[in-house]
Structure 1
Amino acid sequence: MTTSTTNKRLVIYEGQQHWLPDAIALDDQLLRDAFTPLCAELANAEIERKEGEPIRIIKKPGRKGISPLESLIAAPEEVNPAVQMCYQLRQHQLMNGIDWRNAEQWAAQIEEAIAAGTTFTQAVNHSLKALTSCKPISSGIPEGF
């Protein structure tokens, strides 16, 4: 059986040679997509192209040395600013009451709390997405078991 290399490009990944159709090899994203099933880290790989040489796929080194659990433990504890403002308003309402005469003094603080709370929620959602995409690893038996 002979394999024709017409309309194909040579792609090298970790010393392995692969002949891929031009339609895939000439598009960086399609090339990454083609190799991602081999290694999930290749989804963000660098593609090196030099005239007259094979295309090279270079895996970007990932972050090492810190686990998601260590990041969570090290992170400061915070309360969503919008929730904190809500508690302040409730406390003020119980102690002094809130009516149309004193509500205006809170308006600017409420707007700031809403903006900060939105940013806070987006950061939490981003962290949640990052955590749920982490691969589970066994780290040993917890103390006490």
Structure 2
Amino acid sequence: MAEPAQGDIQPILDRWKSLKTRAEGGDLRLDTETGQQLAGHAERMYSALEELVPQAQRLEHLSGFGSLSSAESLRGKFASKAGNSDDSAKKRISQSLEVVKLMKETYELAIRKLTDTDQSTAGQFAGLGNGD
């Protein structure tokens, strides 16, 4: 698989969407304990990323570049990197939040499908023991 271009998060999103679809269909399953730990880690990552959003917003308000026109231009470029451009910190954090949310949902679905399958199988075996 070719490496995505630096900053191109779409292939990562597509991969996790595909994994989530597989988990929904029951093709991707995880051991309950492992899945719970992964989902818990994803939740912690999500919380840590959420804390970065206000910090990125504060980066839009820069000062101390001086009064030269080139300094103002430089200040504007740094400010847009924080929050207004396609390659801004806020946009990258938002995309990362989306990926981590997909990860958590995928882990939870993979656990649920395994648990559902186990319960269904146990029910079928219980029925066999009763002569059904």
TM-score scaled by structure 2?
0.35
Structure with the larger helix share:
2
Structure with the larger strand share:
1
TM-score scaled by structure 1?
0.33
Higher relative contact order (CA 8 A, sep 6+): 2
